[in-house]
Every structure is written in structure tokens, then in C-alpha cells.
Amino acid sequence: MKVIARDLAARYFVGEVKYPAFFPTVYGRDRPSTEGVVVNVYRIWTDRESRKIVKKSVGEYLDYGGFVLPESGWRQIDKYGDDDVANEDLVEIQEKMEFPVVAPLPSAKPDDAIINAEVARSITDKPLFLEIPTSWTEKEIFAFVEATKGWAWGYGTRAGRSEFIELLVKTVPRSKRVVVFGIHHPAVIPVIVSLGVDVVTSGAHGRYADKELYITESSIRPLGELKELPCGCKICDGRTPEDLGTKGDLLAEHNLISFVEEVKKTRNAIVEGRLYEYAKRRSLTHPQIYKDFKKVVASEWITENLPFPKQSSIYLFEKECRPEIELGRSLAKKRGVRLEGLAYTYPFGQVYPPIVEARPSPELVVRSVIKYQYGVDVNTSQLRWETRKGIPRKIYMGDKYLGLIRHGDGFFVPSIEGAKWLKEMAPPPAFRIVLDSEGVEAVRLKRSPLTDHVLDVDPDLRPNMEVIVTDEDDEVVATGRSVLTAREVAEIPRTVAVKIRHRAV
């Protein structure tokens, strides 16, 4: 897992594909230009012609080179009352067709679902994709995940209540994928992704086309009501509604493009640090989506995973709950820091219109910023600093350069000498990432240390923190910027834990 960017609880990372991702549900030999698709295994099992081709790989069958995610089809089995198909049948088809991951049948009863997963594990050594019914309780989800997480590629559930999706994301190890099936409109994507969902899927593009329904940015419209096509995609450009009405495949492709473009825009919003703004704007397309958005951004889960600080400004157009501001206030209160001293520091110094109007003295800024970040009191009488426009920048103790207060977000970035100075004020693992000998050697070789070599971290670690990297003896090895939360460091293997800034070895 290579993490590229993050915002709120969302992660833009590279694995089998670029995540977060949109996978359309395909039937027959559809070949969408997406990095992944979803295939209903039960449909293959019930199609006699399809069952003849199980000697082919699923890629050959679909004539498709991307990632293929199986969906067991248990809803159709339940709907049609098909007692002929067994869990073993579906697992064996997936194994023979070389699916990259295997989906056993879920069950309304968690104990039965665990048995189905164990049976699948006895048939295949491929990782499992496990579907979780929305009727399960928190206790049932936890027990199921604990029993199966060693075999799982990921877990999935149906779109619906944001509270249930959040519960699933919080319970599943952060190294596993979380998939949400059956979204009905692209505007839902950034809101769901904000919780940390990795894959959203839908077959709505084709179903809507069959009913001559056209997806717009804010609605789903009957094609016959449109006077012109309000979209500039390759399908709509230069065409009329009548053109799409005579060719259902073109309408389906436009609808698919609407979903694909939405997930690309969502990933871009994560990179820019503006997922909140983008998700809010998209949520205004429908009252229920906006209601879910407000629940999502106010949740503790978002606060726990929020990168802090960020380089983006915060624009306030109305009274609203901004998780960045709430987290900043909480940290300042917890560490006994007056907001006046944080007038230039994220998020207070990046808000427009300003919420802190003071012009504090350089001494107050230095003392406040370091206590805000690291929770330690410093004796400023021992320090000196260079100022620019009245704001302290480079900080020294005698002739030793300790670090600088960064212009963009007002955070203190310690040098190696600054790291040695700071660590004496608090016992490990406060604001530290502790490495084993292999991790220290990686730093010496100018490589980024991986999570496998981390022995301990600050339990309050979050992405973008300025941290001190130490060895087992608490000797400073480097300084850097954290990439993961403390929980993710423990749960995600072979992933960069910290971007090194200064090395002492």
C-alpha cells in the first residue's frame, strides 16, 4: 500500500488499482475502461453457457485485463429461493476461473458466515472478500472480523445508513479494503469516501440506460425531458438526446463516465486537501446526502484520522462544523494553550474570515506553537529567533539551530538539534516513531522506514505530524513527517511510516 495523499478519513493510495476506486457491475462481456469491475458469481453459476467456460480465467472470459472483484450473488439466491447452489459451488467456480480474490456466501447469521469463510479457505489459498449484511450488530461485526481478518482481502456491505458504513470502516483492519455496493448517484461517492471507504460499486449505469434515464451532475433525468445534453463527455459532445435514445449502449456509457469522473474528482480533492469542500458541494444535490454529510464530518472517526496540519486554507461561508477547527480547539484546550498565541498556526491562522485576530508577540508564538504541537513548556529565555514581519521563523539556542516555524501553516519543524532538545522534555513514545535496527539502517541508506520496522509510536500519532525518529535506546535517528495514524502503523504491513526530513545517521 503506497499512500499518496489523505484527507478527512479518506486515503488515496496505490494497491491493485488506484484507491478510492469505482468498480461497475458488469454482465456478460461488458468491457468498461475502469481499473476494476464487479462480477456476480451466481449469474455465472446459473448460466449454463457460462458454466462451460470455467476452464478459462475470468479475465479471458470477460476479455478484460483489470482487477475483477467477485460478488457472491447471495441476494439473488435469497430472492429466487435457489437451494441448489451451495457455498462450495461458488467458491470452486471462482478458484477455477482464477479470480484474484474469492467471495464465499455470506449469511444472516455470523456463525454460519464464519463457517462459509472457513470452507472457502479450505478450497482456496486466495484472499477472501467477505460481505456483511446491514442487519448485523456491532458485536456481531466485531466477532466476524476478528475470526476472519487473517484471510480477508476486504469486507463489503450495501449502501445505506452512513452510521453502519462508519461502524464497518472502524472495525475492519486498516490494511483491508472496504467496499460499498449499490450506490445510485455519483454525488454519494465523496461523502462515502470521506469515511475511509476504498471501493464503491454500482450497476446503475446500465439499469438507468435500460429505462432511458440520464445521469446529470445533480439528478437522474428521463432522457425525453432533456432539450440538450448538459455534459461534455466523449459520448455527449456533439450529440443530442435523441441520438442517445436510439443507442442504449451510448447512454449506458455516459452514465458510467459520470461515476468514473466522480471518483477521479474525489481523488483530486483528497490530494488538494479539500475533500470537505468538495463533499459538501456534492451533498447539496439531495437532502438525504447532505444529512449524511453532516453526520460524517461531525464524527469522532473523522477527527481521529484527520491529517494535521494541512496546507490548504479554510474558508467559512456560514456557521458550520469544520473538523480541522474542532480538532485544533481540542488540542489547544487539552494542552493549555491560549488561541492568541496560535494566530499564525494551523488551523487558526489559515481561516478566512479570521477567528483569531490577535497579533501575538514572537515569544508567545514560540511558546504556544511548541506546546500546541508537543505538549511541553519551553523556557524561551534560553532561545533567540529571527523574525519576518514580526513573526518568528528560525529558532536558536545559543549557536545551535533548533528548527523553524514554517511559513505555510505556522508549525515548528525541528532540526536534528531541535529533536534532541525536544525529546529531553517528554518520555518516549511522545511525538516519536521508534525503529528497530533494520529501520535505522534504512534511514542511514536514505530510504523511508516501513511499518514492519516500527517498535513503538506516539498513541496520538496522526498523518502530517512533525515527529522525531529514534532507535530502541531513544537516540535521535532522524526527523520527519508521519504518514499514518498509530493504528495504521500497527495494522498495515510494508508501508512507509514516516517521510524522513533530516537524518542524524
CATH number of the CATH domain containing 424: 2.30.130.10
CATH number of the CATH domain containing 334: 3.10.450
In a domain, 28, yes or no: yes
Last residue of a domain, one of 372, 393, 414: 414
333: number of Cβ within 10 Å: 10
Instruction: Average the pLDDT over 79-100 and give the result.
Output: 83
Q: Are residues 213 and 236 in the same domain?
A: yes
Report the Cα 181 to chain-centroid distance in Å.
Answer: 17
Q: Are residues 107 and 252 in the same domain?
A: yes
In a domain, 307, yes or no: no
pLDDT in tens, 141-179: 999 999 999 999 999 999 888 899 999 999 999 999 999
pLDDT for the residue 63: 83
**Whether residue 49 has pLDDT greater than 60:** no
Q: Are residues 71 and 165 in the same domain?
A: yes
pLDDT in tens, 343-376: 999 999 999 888 888 899 999 999 999 999 999 9
Q: Are residues 89 and 48 in the same domain?
A: yes
Q: Are residues 19 and 141 in the same domain?
A: yes
Of all residues in the chain, what percent carry a pLDDT higher than 90?
79
Last residue of a domain, one of 397, 414, 431: 414
Last residue of a domain, one of 297, 314, 347: 297
Q: Which domain holds residue 450?
A: 420-503
pLDDT for the residue 247: 75
pLDDT for the residue 52: 60
pLDDT in tens, 300-310: 999 999 999 98
Q: Are residues 407 and 436 in the same domain?
A: no
- Choose among 351, 338, 355: nearest CA to 310: 351
Q: Are residues 378 and 426 in the same domain?
A: no
**Res. 312 pLDDT band, cuts 50 70 90:** confident
Q: Are residues 260 and 372 in the same domain?
A: no
In a domain, 176, yes or no: yes
Instruction: Average the pLDDT over 34-58 and give the result.
Output: 77
**Torsions phi, psi of 79, nearest 5?**
-65, -45
Number of domains within the chain: 3
In a domain, 313, yes or no: no
Instruction: Kindly give the pairing relationship between strand 67-71 and strand 128-131.
Output: unpaired
Mean pLDDT lowest among 10-24, 51-65, 342-356: 51-65
**Whether residue 53 has pLDDT greater than 70:** no
Q: Are residues 284 and 385 in the same domain?
A: no
In a domain, 432, yes or no: yes
pLDDT in tens, 217-232: 999 999 999 999 999 8
In a domain, 214, yes or no: yes
Q: Output the average pLDDT for the chain.
A: 92
In a domain, 304, yes or no: no
Angle in degrees, CA 109, 151, 91, rounded to 5: 70
Q: Are residues 218 and 349 in the same domain?
A: no
User: Do 212 and 245 touch, CB atoms closer than 8 A?
Assistant: yes
CATH number of the CATH domain containing 104: 3.20.20.105
**Whether residue 46 has pLDDT greater than 90:** no
- CA-CA distances (angstroms) from residue 492 to 220, 361, 447, 461, 479? 39, 43, 18, 15, 22
In a domain, 187, yes or no: yes
Q: Are residues 24 and 102 in the same domain?
A: yes
pLDDT for the residue 30: 64
pLDDT in tens, 230-287: 998 999 999 999 988 877 789 999 999 999 999 999 999 999 999 999 999 999 999 9
**Res. 55 pLDDT band, cuts 50 70 90:** low
pLDDT in tens, 415-440: 999 999 999 999 999 999 999 999 99
- Determine if the peptide bond prior to 230 is cis (ω within 30°): no
- CA-CA distances (angstroms) from residue 422 to 94, 205, 395, 406? 55, 56, 13, 17
**Res. 82 pLDDT band, cuts 50 70 90:** low
Residue 25 belongs to what H/E stretch? strand 21-26
Q: Are residues 85 and 234 in the same domain?
A: yes
